[in-house]
Structure 1
Amino acid sequence: MGGTGLIGAHVVARLRGRGHAVTTLARTDRPGVDHVLDVEAASVDELRRLLAGHDGVVYGTRADEQRVLRRPIHPVLHREIVDPVVRVFTAARHEGLTRGVILGSYYTYYDRLRPQWCLPDRHVYVRCRLEQAREGRAAAGPELPVAVLELPFVFGRVGDRLPNWAGPLDRWARSAAPLLAPVGGTAAASARSVAEAAHAALEQASGSDIPVADENLTWAEMLARIADAVGRPRPVNRLPAGAVRALLRLGGGAQALAGKESGLNPAHLADVLLAELFIEPVTGRSLEPALRETFAASVPGR
């Protein structure tokens, strides 16, 4: 489910390449989609009809953690992130499926690793990702193990499908503007590596939390490699941590005054952004091919 997205398309290709029969479902009709259905609105009975005769299910739909909405945002994100997963795995359990995978977020990995950051209390998006895993597994029951892939920045391309965050970074790297980055960094993976992890989790009927990363990069390293990939290599200058904290506090205050909030609360985001959001161990595979797919040196229409 979510078979037309960047990661979903790679998962489908991986499974079919290993001899599995795959049925794809998405909310918009496009080549390669077997069934068009809005999973957020689909009933358990509708999902049962689609899942009948299958062994496993991979659930991966996009969630926009940066979107700003009127408070409280939790009911909206719970409806988008959690409720569909509960219905999907309820339907899967009723149809006798034996394995499942949720494409999740590496923020749940950091909630385990750094509980002192209080991520679910400070960021509604993280709370909903934790609820997604917990409630999805409860709906599946003990006979249907559900693995959660905890994903960082994912690089790659399938046709015109790119990571949703790639556009602004691409335009920045191609511009004449200076490149600035704070301390800290992030784990990163290719869509192909995520697909391999999803395939392994299905074959093993794993019910584990599985962080996935190919490389750990500082923000400066990531920006420098993107600039090089688009053909405009240049130095990345340090953005002072104090400036980052002040800007994010200002953004959080502006949201609060307007009665709004986002999935990741800017007022509490600096401690996360300025940390090294690294995953250990990494696969050791080079991220470079996927990075250059994402940020091609010359792309018509850009």
Structure 2
Amino acid sequence: MRILVVGGSGLIGAHAVDVLRERGHAVTTVARTAHPGVDHVLDLEFASVDDLRPLLAGLDGVVYAARTDEQRPLRKPIYPVFRQDIVEPVIRLFTAARHEGLTRGVIMGSYYTYFDRLHPQWRLATRHTYIRCRAEQAQEGRAAAGPDLPVAVLELPFVFGRAGDRLPNWAGPLDRWARSRTPLVVPAGGTAAASARSVAEIAVDALEQARGADIPVADENLTWSDMMARIAEAVGRRRRVGRLPAGAARVSLRFAGMLQALGRKESGINLTHLADLLLAELFIEPATGRSLDPALRETFADSATTAEHDRVPPSA
């Protein structure tokens, strides 16, 4: 196959490129900034269908692996900004792919859409702009692709790993916390997690099979306590992880949400309702059962390379 990987210099995109080439497929890459291994520099937020068609001409498939920072606070209303970043580039990309006769595609999405389907009573898409836009991304991207271009949506949790100097954008804060003398205190609940390599392999499987399904991805399901204990062990500071009372988590996050609201700002994952997510067991079954230990060691092997990633840790 001949595949275009959008976001090919990022953590997941770079692993997808590696797996595709290992399996004998031809790959070209596009990213918004120049980086070793990037064939075309183009910001899809501003690229038109006509800009995209020449990149897709003669190809069989496309992988959309661009990253979005859902915890970046923005001035209200935030929906138009998130839609422009998350939804509209995918519509244009798969419209162009349909015009060029591509036969398969993959979108790297979020496991929040999986839980939105599984637990409609949580009202995730109503409460969180990021989740709303992820759901629209999948639905409208597929509509743009049409019936002859099946598009798989990988619903991704916390993804661990490294690709050159690329790390998860939450790695820096957790690395420094694990290495510090600050107590490790986390709430109940937990999350599914996967390695970037595992995500890439599942994505390439979907391309090879021309699947058009929603594919929730997990290698392991971890409580927050388990996850922080393993991060601490990975950085060489094995220690006890304490429990943050649920009430304290709710009060602190609601207060942070109130401060954002006073500044007429909001995050893609609404801080007022974030405690409901943190205290839930966001687990995916079945998990692959592949160990996360190698990816954990890659992610937290060298704190110096994670220093620039100082952001509020999102989930997916």
TM-score range with shorter-chain normalisation? over 0.9
Aligned counterparts of 2:15 and 2:166: Cα–Cα separation in 1:
11
**In the alignment, is residue 263 of structure 1 matched against residue 268 of structure 2?**
yes
Residue 10 of structure 1 and its aligned partner are, at CA, apart by 0.2
Comparing 35-44 with 87-96, greater Cα deviation is found at: 35-44
**In the alignment, is residue 53 of structure 1 matched against residue 58 of structure 2?**
yes
Match of 1:293 in 2: 298
Residue 213 of structure 1 and its aligned partner are, at CA, apart by 0.5
Match of 2:70 in 1: 65
1:220 corresponds, among 220, 225, 228, to 225
Aligned counterparts of 1:37 and 1:78: Cα–Cα separation in 2:
19
Question: TM-score under structure 2 normalisation?
Answer: 0.94
1:127 corresponds, among 132, 156, 162, to 132
Aligned counterparts of 1:222 and 1:36: Cα–Cα separation in 2:
36
**In the alignment, is residue 170 of structure 1 matched against residue 175 of structure 2?**
yes
Aligned residue type for 2:78: I
2:63 alignment partner, SS class: strand
Residue 300 of structure 1 and its aligned partner are, at CA, apart by 7.3
Aligned residue type for 1:60: A
1:105 corresponds, among 110, 127, 132, to 110
Residue 271 of structure 1 and its aligned partner are, at CA, apart by 1.1
Give deviations 1:113-160, integer Å, cap 9, x for gaps. Answer: 111100000000000000000110000000001000000000001111
Aligned counterparts of 1:143 and 1:170: Cα–Cα separation in 2:
45
Aligned counterparts of 1:64 and 1:263: Cα–Cα separation in 2:
8
Q: Percent identity at matched positions?
A: 75
CA RMSD in angstroms comes to 1.1
2:44 corresponds, among 24, 39, 47, to 39
1:133 alignment partner, SS class: helix
Aligned residue type for 1:131: E
Aligned residue type for 2:244: L
2:240 corresponds, among 235, 241, 248, to 235
Question: TM-score under structure 1 normalisation?
Answer: 0.98
Residue 299 of structure 1 and its aligned partner are, at CA, apart by 5.5
Match of 1:115 in 2: 120
1:84 to 1:297, Cα distance in 2 relative to 1, 3 A? closer
1:213 alignment partner, SS class: coil
Residue 260 of structure 1 and its aligned partner are, at CA, apart by 1.4
1:61 alignment partner, SS class: coil
User: Is the contact made by 1:229 and 1:297 (CA closer than 8 Å) also made in structure 2?
Assistant: no
1:292 alignment partner, SS class: helix
User: Is the contact made by 2:165 and 2:305 (CA closer than 8 Å) also made in structure 1?
Assistant: no
Match of 1:284 in 2: 289
User: Is the contact made by 2:8 and 2:14 (CA closer than 8 Å) also made in structure 1?
Assistant: yes
Residue 297 of structure 1 and its aligned partner are, at CA, apart by 6.1
Residue 29 of structure 1 and its aligned partner are, at CA, apart by 1.0
User: Is the contact made by 2:172 and 2:303 (CA closer than 8 Å) also made in structure 1?
Assistant: no
**In the alignment, is residue 92 of structure 1 matched against residue 115 of structure 2?**
no
Aligned residue type for 1:218: T
Match of 2:3 in 1: none
**In the alignment, is residue 145 of structure 1 matched against residue 150 of structure 2?**
yes
1:7 corresponds, among 7, 12, 31, to 12
Where structure 2 has 5 or more consecutive residues not aligned to the other structure, the ranges are 1-5, 308-316
Aligned residue type for 2:298: E
User: Is the contact made by 1:231 and 1:297 (CA closer than 8 Å) also made in structure 2?
Assistant: no
Residue 82 of structure 1 and its aligned partner are, at CA, apart by 0.3
Give the number of aligned pairs. Answer: 302
Residue 268 of structure 1 and its aligned partner are, at CA, apart by 1.1
2:87 corresponds, among 82, 86, 103, to 82
Aligned counterparts of 2:67 and 2:306: Cα–Cα separation in 1:
25
